Structure formats: structure tokens, C-alpha cells
């Protein structure tokens, strides 16, 4: 599957062993236990192009320059706290259930702390959360780093004047909306969601923010589905 996003964006995994030719980020890598079924990712554009996984599929291994001793022990706790439910909401779907992560106060705090540690000193003024689970992780991160939280919502959910961005689904299209005036040109934003599958909603959020002159520092997702082979 391909993600239709602006040309300066690339979705990639730092643990896949197939890194791009873009310059590496000044953000430190986060490496994961290789026995989990999905991953946390951080995604951003040059010159800070970097992505890192906290949960990765069994066939993915960590970068050769790192070993298990380099890994943050919190990553295993987060990975173990996310439940995978087969055949939900329909046959063939392996549903990544974060409700079990939210029940584990230590693992939930670890998740927020890892994001906060990554973004605390990046002069971010906006945390944009994608409906709906981005609303869970975004606000505590925003409060901790001193940023405002901006909800990115589906159509007809926001009461004020909005701007919208259409994006493609497997069958048809959908829209992402944001309140007019919620962000200002020149602000630095973090976009957050719980999961990256094909990347369509993330790209819509990126385009929506870039249209009004916001600089996207990174996109952060708790879970990745690497088997969908997300590409730019």
C-alpha cells in the first residue's frame, strides 16, 4: 500500500535494516524487543528524518549497531501491555487493543514518558491528536511539554468554522477537519495517533497543518502495522 503524502515525507522503520538516504535525525533511536507484533513509531521530515519502533513484528530485527543492552526496559513493558485480538471487527483483522495498555498504569505512564522525553526540548507549541485514540495520548503529552492540544476530527464533529483535507480510503474517501484559528503560521507541531496502518489519516493531518504554515516536527504513533508496507 502507498501513502499519498507530500513529497518531503518518508515513512520508514529504523529497525527494518532498510534505511533511506536522507540524513539521520538528532533524535536518539528507540529500539524494541523483536518478539512483539507491532511497533511504536516516530515519523518526521528532513532535516530531522527519523523513525523508531517500540514494537516490531517477529521478522524484524534491531539495527546491527545496537544490541539488547541498549534497549530501554520500558519498551518491553509497553509492548506486552497491548493486546492483539484476532478477527475483530471482522475476519482477518488482527485488532491492536490499547485498552489493556490504559489499564496498566505503569505501562501507560511509560508510553507518555517516552514521548515527553523525546519532545520536551523541541520547542513544540502544538500537539495535534487524530481522532479518536490520538485524543488519549495527545493531551498528557501536550501538558507535559507545555504545548496546546488541537483535535483533528472527522467531518461534522467540530462546532466552529473548520478547514478540511480529504484523503483516500480503500473504498472511497474521508476528511480530516481542524478549527480555523486553532494553530498559527510558524508554529511547531507534533502529530500523534495510536496506530499507523496505511498512513492516510496522518498524511491528511500533515497536509492540513502545512496548509496554514505549521512546521511538522514529527508524527508519533504508538503502534505500527509493518506488514501493510507503508510507503511514501
The cell for 198 is 496505511
Q: Give 74's contacts (C-beta < 8 A, 6+ positions apart).
A: 107, 110, 113, 114
Q: Which domains does the chain have, with CATH numbers?
A: 76-224 (3.40.50.2020)
- Measure CA 52 to chain center: 10
pLDDT at position 183, please?
98
Kindly write down the DSSP assignment for every residue of 15-66, as one continuous string.
Answer: TSS---SSPPPSSPP---BTTSSS--EEE--TTS-----SB--TT----TT-
Say what the alpha-carbon torsion angle 49, 53, 54, 59 is, to the nearest 10 degrees: -170
Tell me the catalytic residues: 133, 170
The cell for 220 is 508519533
- d(C-alpha 101, C-alpha 47), whole Å: 33
Task: Name the stretches of the chain with pLDDT < 50.
Answer: 1-4, 6-38, 44-69, 230-232
On whether the CB atoms of residues 81 and 104 are closer than 8 A, the answer is: yes
> Nearest Cα to 211, choosing from 170, 166, 168, 156?
166
The cell for 57 is 513484528
pLDDT, tens digit, for every residue of 43-97? 543 322 233 334 433 222 222 233 444 678 898 899 899 999 999 999 988 899 9
pLDDT at position 112, please?
96
> Nearest Cα to 12, choosing from 63, 83, 78?
63
> Helix (H, G, I), strand (E, B), or coil: what is residue 168?
strand
- d(C-alpha 75, C-alpha 107), whole Å: 9
pLDDT at position 19, please?
27
Amino acid at each position: 500500500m502507498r501513502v499519498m503524502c507530500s513529497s518531503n515525507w518518508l515513512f520508514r522503520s529504523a529497525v527494518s535494516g532498510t534505511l533511506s538516504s536522507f540524513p539521520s535525525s538528532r533524535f536518539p533511536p528507540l529500539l524494541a524487543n523483536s518478539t512483539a507484533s507491532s511497533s511504536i513509531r516516530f515519523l518526521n521530515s528532513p532535516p530531522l528524518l527519523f523513525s523508531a519502533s517500540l514494537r516490531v513484528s517477529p521478522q524484524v530485527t534491531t539495527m546491527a549497531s545496537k544490541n539488547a543492552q541498549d534497549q530501554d526496559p520500558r519498551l518491553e513493558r509497553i509492548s506486552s501491555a497491548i493486546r492483539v485480538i484476532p478477527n475483530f471487527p471482522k475476519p482477518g483483522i488482527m485488532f491492536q487493543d490499547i485498552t489493556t495498555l490504559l489499564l496498566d498504569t505503569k505501562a501507560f505512564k511509560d508510553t507518555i514518558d517516552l514521548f515527553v522525553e523525546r519532545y520536551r526540548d523541541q520547542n513544540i507549541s502544538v500537539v495535534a491528536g487524530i481522532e479518536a485514540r490520538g485524543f488519549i495520548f495527545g493531551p498528557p503529552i501536550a501538558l507535559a511539554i507545555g504545548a496546546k492540544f488541537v483535535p483533528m476530527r472527522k467531518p461534522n464533529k467540530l462546532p466552529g468554522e473548520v478547514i478540511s483535507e480529504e484523503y483516500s480510503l480503500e473504498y472511497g474517501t474521508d476528511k480530516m477537519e481542524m478549527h480555523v484559528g486553532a494553530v498559527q503560521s510558524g508554529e511547531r507541531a507534533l502529530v500523534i495517533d495510536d496506530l499507523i496502518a496505511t498512513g492516510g489519516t496522518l498524511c491528511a493531518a500533515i497536509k492540513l497543518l502545512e496548509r496554514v504554515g505549521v512546521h511538522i516536527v514529527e508524527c508519533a504513533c504508538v503502534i505500527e502495522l509493518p506488514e501493510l508496507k507503508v510507503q511514501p
